[in-house]
């Protein structure tokens, strides 16, 4: 029997986290032959290689090695490389996750080559077209044949945009599959005390990476001013994204920060994935953005949008520190089994 060839395309760190449980489930189906293609949008040991080991993902069948460059340069190089790969493999299905440039490049090539396309995390919308990820999401959804959503509002967005209901499947959140799989291992670690000499739930965790926050001097400095005031009441630990680290050194902002951490009292972030993870973990989250493509983390979770004005950030942080943190609930299907549901649908349909 000829096996059904499924090409899974990844390129950036969030993709690695999301593809791990999917690859595991796809390998369980005898009629499927999975391939893993890494575009190289994120590269190097800390940005890429370490994830394949930590997440127990097989090493990619193909590495395009696209590397850095402008968005247009990256996407163009990816499309050229993916077209060659697709011609060689002749896949029955291309599977993409999330909203990074690799996702868009694979979607465009699949459409041009008449390859069936599945999009994991379809339908998320911030309604802010100045965000590159928003453009990537919208175009990928239009081109997809299978649209797997994490929440009901994503399905609503897709239907409103004219996507046929028969293409849309509510399956849950593959990011949470990985989170819950590694949660027990993470809880056994004691680095909070041994490495940082801190007490669990008595510090805050910070992540920043979006260009709109860290590449804009006025915006970045305003955020840092707020963090400086908050840090008088609670230590802030900061796993530094390379983009943020470059600008911290360039603008001499290093004095505002401590460094790297887990197990926090609350999180300050501009990351979409972390908004989801904190909701599942029950950790208060302050999102340093003007909008979010994951509103369910606000309506049903622990997330609060603060924007980038220092006073709002400080006010919401003080609520948490004083014991008035927002409480969240359990979100339907965010249970660690989204990948199983996706692969079952693919097994039935293909």
Catalytic residues: 209
CA distance 6 to 326: 42
CA distance 41 to 276: 23
Task: Output phi, psi for 223, to 5 deg.
Answer: -60, -45
Task: Output phi, psi for 134, to 5 deg.
Answer: -65, -45
How is residue 331 annotated by DSSP?
P
Q: Is residue 147 within 8 Å of 168, Cβ to Cβ?
A: yes
Task: Output phi, psi for 161, to 5 deg.
Answer: -85, 5
CA distance 10 to 98: 9
Residue by residue, DSSP assigns 229-272 as HHTTTS-EE----HHHHHHHHHTT-GGG------S-SEEEE--H
- Bridge partners, residue 63, by sequence: 38
User: Which residues in 58-86 are b (16+ Cβ under 10 Å) and which e?
Assistant: eebebebebeeeeeeebbebbbebbbebb
Task: Output phi, psi for 193, to 5 deg.
Answer: -85, -50
- Structure tokens belonging to residue 62: 């193909």
User: CA Rg, the chain, in Å?
Assistant: 20
Q: Is 188 helix (H, G, I), strand (E, B) or coil?
A: helix
């Amino acid at each position: 029997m000829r096996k059904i060839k499924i090409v899974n395309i990844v390129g950036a760190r969030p993709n690695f986290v999301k593809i791990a449980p999917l690859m595991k489930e796809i390998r369980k189906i005898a009629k499927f032959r999975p391939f893993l293609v890494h575009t190289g949008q994120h590269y190097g040991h800390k940005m890429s290689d370490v994830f394949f080991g930590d997440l127990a993902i097989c090493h990619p069948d193909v590495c395009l090695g696209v590397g850095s460059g402008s968005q247009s340069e990256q996407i163009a190089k990816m499309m050229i490389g993916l077209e060659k790969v697709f011609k060689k493999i002749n896949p029955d299905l291309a599977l993409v996750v999330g909203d990074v440039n690799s996702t868009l490049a694979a979607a465009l090539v699949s459409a041009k080559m008449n390859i069936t396309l599945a999009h994991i995390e379809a339908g998320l919308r911030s309604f802010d077209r100045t965000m590159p990820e928003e453009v990537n999401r919208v175009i990928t959804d239009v081109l997809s044949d299978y649209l797997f959503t994490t929440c009901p509002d994503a399905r609503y967005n897709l239907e409103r945009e004219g996507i046929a209901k028969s293409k849309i499947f509510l399956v849950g959140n593959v990011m949470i599959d990985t989170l819950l799989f590694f949660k027990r291992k993470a809880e056994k670690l004691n680095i909070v005390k041994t490495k940082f000499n801190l007490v669990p739930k008595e510090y805050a965790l910070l992540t920043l990476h979006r260009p709109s926050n860290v590449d804009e001097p006025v915006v970045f400095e305003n955020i840092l001013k707020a963090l400086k005031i908050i840090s008088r009441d609670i230590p802030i630990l900061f796993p530094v994204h390379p983009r943020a680290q470059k600008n911290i050194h360039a603008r001499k902002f290093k004095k505002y920060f401590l460094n790297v951490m887990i197990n926090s009292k609350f999180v300050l972030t501009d990351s979409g994935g972390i908004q989801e993870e904190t909701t599942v973990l029950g950790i208060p989250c302050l999102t340093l953005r003007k909008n979010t493509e994951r509103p369910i983390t606000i309506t049903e979770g622990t997330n609060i949008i603060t924007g980038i004005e220092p006073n709002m950030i400080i006010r919401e942080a003080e609520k948490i520190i004083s014991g008035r943190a927002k409480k969240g609930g359990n979100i339907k299907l965010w249970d660690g089994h989204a990948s199983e549901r996706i692969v079952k649908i693919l097994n039935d349909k293909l």
